[in-house]
Structure 1
Amino acid sequence: MSAESIGSQKPTVLVVEDDAAVAQTVITLLEAEGYPVREARSSEEALEHLDKADYPIVISDIYLDERTGLDILRRARALNPRCAVILITGHGTLETVMEATRAGAFEYIAKPFHVEQLAQAVQNAELAWKETAPSVAAGNDDPMPVLIGNSPAMVEVYKFISRVAETDATVLLEGETGTGKELVARMVHQSGSRREHRFVVVDCGALPATLLEAELFGVLRGAYTGADRDRTGLLESADGGTVFLDEIGEIDPAFQLRLLRFLQEREIRPLGSAASRKVDVRVVAASNRDLRKLVAEKNVAEKKFREDLWYRLQVTSLRLAPLRERSQDIPLLAEHFLELSSRRWARRVRLSEDVLKWAVGYGWPGNVRQLQNVLERLVIL
């Protein structure tokens, strides 16, 4: 089910705010601008909304109840990668801002805020949503992702995607942070027979084992204190589609056995349930660490990774090259990212030959993601 509006209509906005006065201010502003609005007054109510529909834009307070706006952010982005999440708070810290940015927040606004500031953030989010909108004829909610480059390393990536897309084999992607593992996973999904179903992202490194288990497998009402309603797990939400387990090397050793059993049986059992049920999902996993080394170092407690789980994950595997190993792709990437940022911010910027030469020779420790962020800042400033 989708909450997205079609054509010239405004996208639907989910407002998550436990302060009635702030919620009413935000809703009044949005409705005056013509946006359809849904409201959630608690984190559980917000998660219920997200499980039932895909929202193009979510506005959430950071501090709610037993969960935070960061939990809402991760859930919204996992279920709908196109969702733009705007976080607002009166008690923000630099650490919180950085965590929100890493988790994919579209905008971060401090209280008290000017309504013009929020209105501009929502307009930018709407523009980003429209730019990534797929053709109505495409029949699915995600636009076809784009990989850029013609280096030998990228040619191997294209060949790999072509080989594995039409299979249901588990895929393991390894490579440094920022090399495009999630993008490759999306292309595998969109190029295969599961393209009409969901692509669900799970950031395994962002949650402790207990929360990760609840997120993946779901929760029945009464399973623990605060579980006042049933909640569908991400694996069930991805039924028929693909689940992307990002940073799989960071999961707690205690949780690895449960994940291994799922990969073997393809069954889920929500927390608090005695019954299991089958789900039909393709699994693509990714790690910025060398899992082979983690397996070899299994006597070191903090680096332990089960060998049998590793074997299950690496049915088909690919190492993504860092940007410094495919620097010939940088001019094409720079052109692409500048065009995207120029459209978003309505400012045209071009790189001089000297700057482009420097970019090709630079090491880019943050890889493609760092290049994209630098170019967007260049356009903004």
Structure 2
Amino acid sequence: MPISAPLLLVEDDTSVRNTLLTFLDLEGYKVEAVSSTRAAMEKLLHAAYPIVISDIYLDERTGLDVLRAAKEASSECRVILMSARGSMETVMAATRGGAFEYLAKPFELDELLNAIQKAELEIEGAANQDRETDIDDLPETEMIGSSTKMIEIYKTLSQVAPTDATVLITGETGTGKELVARMIHTNSKRVIGPFVPVDCGGIAPSLLESELFGAMKGSYTGADRDRVGVFEAANKGTVFLDEIGEIDPAFQLKLLRFLQEREIRPVGSNRAKTVDVRVVAATNRDLQKMVEEGKFREDLWFRLNVVRIPLPSLRDRRSDIALLSHFFLRKYNERYELNAILTASGQKALSEFAWPGNVRQLQHTVERLVILAPGGRIDAEAVEDALRDSDQEDTAVTESLRDTEREQILKVLEATSQNKSRAAKILGIERKTLYRKLERMGLL
């Protein structure tokens, strides 16, 4: 049976408001509907509603103000927020303010009904909890997107960030795994501690143990002093282990022991040290498949996979491309003191591209367009030229390495005095890729 007390609906779009009113009436709910925050505040001054359903973006005030007023009227009120323009900031603010649910428009009416029914169950059985939280201090972040998939990620982040749970972030290259890891750290109790990213694929397997656990003087050739490892340096903070799928089986066991015991033993030492760090890992590989193939330890997989956040590719959230494009347009216009304009045809071309490199590729493409677009106008032709030139450059590097790979790598390393970072840049590949090639060639 639907709750007997009336629900409050706050929605400025007449069509949406009428649709929701009709639907909820057919489901047996009593609903009082208003179209502005002013009217909502007036209602909340004179009555405490068990459930409030509100859009986020309304008028000069927002659904976050409605949320706060509803909670002031009754801390037991369950507030369901809706938005077609959700962001990390609004979801985090809504969660901190005690919102019961957050729905990304457009949504199926059954999703709203399900949220209301869950709220009814909680009202019936829950103790009175004061969930009021300050929602004025919104976090600043570059996480952008209001698609349904991104809203779900924001909701997961808002739940897991305050905990100390180990998190595994999965997704293709360029989807923003490190950005998500930083957001977890920023919104955790460890925010005053260090955030230390480690590219596991960019470190030679023989050096990974000393890099993470540290090493004692004399423990290996060239160790002329004690070296503090990443885990000890990040004490009270967060370590982000990127490309976790690249670590070799021998070190996987040592990492597992650390995650279980939270102790490190520097190379060459017979004493263990306890450290307090949170681990967030990421990979673009299918770890579950690697477990089945015997390439990744199953027990380590379980230990890392406490909470998993799968990031969608950009082609799977195309509705976010326009928002991202304009964000990067503004960013690089400000950086280079330019005034490039993205035309409708240019935006259409950006939105229709497949973006195999995801958000990172889109960002670099927009930066290039801002600098090089003829007359400062980014139209479809400028976008197509930029994408074609970028593809030709990538193809040329790939073919060059394929034809004379070993010889070319050796020449570049010699020219850079074995500086692998510089060599990788000259070769047009990432440093971790160079390490893998060198290891495969027996040059490490």
Q: So what's the TM-score if we normalise by structure 2?
A: 0.52
Match of 1:180 among 170, 176, 182: 176
Query: What are the residue-to-residue correspondences of 1:282-361 with 2, within 5 Å?
Result: 282-298=278-294, 304-361=295-352
1:363 aligned onto 2:348: no
Instruction: Say whether 1:160 aligns with 2:151.
Output: no
User: Residues 215 and 145 (structure 1 numbering): CA distance in 2 closer, same or farther, change over 3 Å?
Assistant: farther
Alignment counterpart, residue 374 of structure 1, candidates 365, 378, 391: 365
Instruction: Quote how far apart the aligned CAs of 1:310 are.
Output: 0.2
Separation of aligned partners in 2, 1:337 and 1:344:
10
Check conservation: 1:148, 1:332, Cα contact below 8 A: yes
- The 3-state SS of whatever aligns with 2:323 is helix
Structure 2: tracts of 5 or more residues without a match? 1-136, 373-444
**CA-atom RMSD, angstroms?**
1.3
Moved more, 175-184 or 335-344: 335-344
The runs of 4+ residues in structure 1 deviating greater than 4 Å are: none
1:267 to 257, 263, 267: 263
Task: For residue 160 of structure 1, give the secondary structure of its aligned residue in structure 2.
Answer: helix
Following TM superposition, by how much is the alpha carbon of 1:212 offset from its aligned partner in structure 2, in angstroms? 1.1
Does 1:206 pair with 2:202? yes
- Letter of the 2:330 partner, please give it: E
Higher RCO (C-alpha 8 Å, min separation 6): 1
Q: 1:280 aligns with which of 257, 262, 276?
A: 276
Partner SS, residue 310 of structure 1: helix
1:186 is paired with a residue of what secondary structure? helix
**Native 8 Å contact 1:144 1:190 kept in 2:** no
SS of residue in 2 equivalent to 1:173: strand
Alignment-mate amino acid for residue 153 of structure 2: V
* Separation in structure 2 between the aligned mates of residue 335 and residue 144 of structure 1, nearest angstrom: 17
Please, which runs of 5 or more residues in structure 1 have no aligned partner?
Answer: 1-137, 299-303
- CA distance, structure 2, for counterparts of residue 144 and residue 215 of structure 1: 31
State the alpha-carbon separation in 2 of the partners of residues 179 and 233 from structure 1.
28
Instruction: Give the SS at the match of 1:333.
Output: helix
How far the C-alpha of 1:247 sits from its partner, in A, is 0.5
Alignment deviations for residues 123-179 of structure 1 (CA, whole Å, 9 cap, x no partner): xxxxxxxxxxxxxxx9xxxx9432101000100110010110111000001100000
CA distance in 2, matches of 1:231, 1:253: 24
Q: Deviations over 1:24-47 (max 9, x none)?
A: xxxxxxxxxxxxxxxxxxxxxxxx
Alignment of 1:110-189 (within 5 A): 144-189=140-185
Amino acid at match of 1:261: R
TM-score by length of 1: 0.60
- What SS is found at the alignment partner of 2:226? coil
CA-to-partner distance for each residue in 1:223-259, whole Å, 9 max, x for gaps? 1111111111111111001000000001111110110
Does structure 2 retain, via aligned residues, the 8 Å contact 1:324–1:367? yes
The one-letter code matched in structure 2 to 1:327 is R
What CA deviation, in whole Å up to 9, does each residue of 1:264-292 have, x standing for no partner? Answer: 11101111111011100011000001111
**Bigger Rg, which one:** 2
Q: Which moved more, 1:218-227 or 1:167-176?
A: 218-227
Of 237, 249, 254, the residue aligned with 1:253 is: 249
Kindly provide the CA deviation profile for residues 174-218 of structure 1, in whole angstroms up to 9, marking residues without a partner as x: 100000111111101101100011110000011122211111011
Q: Distance in 1 between matches of 2:342 and 2:145?
A: 18
Q: Percent identity?
A: 60
Matched letter for residue 366 of structure 2: L
Query: What is aligned with 1:119?
Result: none
1:306 Cα deviation after fit: 0.5
Residue 279 of structure 2 aligns to a residue whose secondary structure is strand
The residue matched to 1:364 in structure 2 has which SS? coil
Number of residue pairs matched? Answer: 235
- Which structure is higher in helix share? 2
Q: Match for 2:335: what amino acid?
A: R
Instruction: Give me the whole-angstrom Cα distance separating, in 2, the residues matched to 1:290 and 1:366.
Output: 18
3-state SS, counterpart of residue 159 of structure 2:
helix
Shift of the alpha carbon at 1:380? 2.4
SS of residue in 1 equivalent to 2:315: helix
SS in 1 for 2:339: coil
Does the residue aligned with 1:243 lie in a helix, a strand or coil?
strand
Distance 2:141 2:296 in 1: 31
8 Å CA contact 1:144–1:187 kept in 2: the answer is no
SS in 2 for 1:318: strand
Cα 1:268–1:145 change in 2 (3 A) is farther
Q: Distance in 2 between matches of 1:209 and 1:269?
A: 17
Compute the displacement of 1:315 (Å). 0.5
* Counterparts of 2:273 and 2:210, CA distance in 1: 16
2:238 matched to which residue of 1? 242
CA distance in 1, matches of 2:275, 2:341: 49
